[in-house]
């Protein structure tokens, strides 16, 4: 996914949320999910979901990369997945996995060892 494609998807998700506001924020569980989210922006929540679904990135890796907590990562995936489905943008599994930060770095070609083996 290019930067422009990600920005376009982010805009679609943002518009979807504007068009489909939550029915009620008085529900205690909904309020707790929002509080657990902490400083995660919509872009962060979308990124978490795409990395988790596409590359099977571990929750612990995502919490470390975004300096957040495990419930916030789980809530992000729980929130964004149905939105992507509603938008007709499922995230297909990649043929390889990148469960750790090192694996993700290798995917984008950012390893300490740049010499091919």
Residue 84: what pLDDT? 96
Alpha helices in the chain (DSSP H): 3-19, 28-37, 42-55, 59-66, 70-86, 101-107
For residue 51, pLDDT over 80 is answered with yes
| Rounded-to-integer distance, Cα 91 and Cα 8, Å | 15
User: Which is more confidently placed, 105 or 35?
Assistant: 105
The pLDDT value given to residue 107: 85
- Alpha carbon distance 6, 110 (integer Å): 20
56, pLDDT greater than 90:
yes
pLDDT recorded at residue 26: 62
Give the start-to-end residue ranges of the domains of the chain: 3-107
* Confidence at residue 39, expressed as pLDDT on a 0 to 100 scale: 78
Query: What percentage of the chain reaches a pLDDT higher than 90?
Result: 56
Residue 70's CB is within 10 A of a number of other CB atoms, namely: 12
């Amino acid at each position: 996914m290019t930067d422009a494609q990600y920005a376009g998807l982010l805009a679609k998700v943002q518009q979807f949320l504007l068009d489909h506001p939550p029915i009620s924020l008085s529900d205690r569980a909904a309020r707790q999910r929002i509080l657990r989210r902490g400083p995660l922006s919509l872009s962060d929540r979308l990124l978490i979901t795409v990395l988790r679904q596409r590359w099977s990135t571990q929750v612990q890796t995502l919490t470390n990369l975004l300096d957040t907590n495990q419930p916030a990562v789980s809530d992000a995936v729980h929130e964004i997945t149905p939105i992507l489905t509603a938008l007709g943008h499922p995230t297909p599994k990649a043929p390889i996995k990148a469960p750790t930060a090192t694996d993700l770095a290798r995917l984008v070609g950012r390893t300490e060892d740049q010499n091919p083996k």
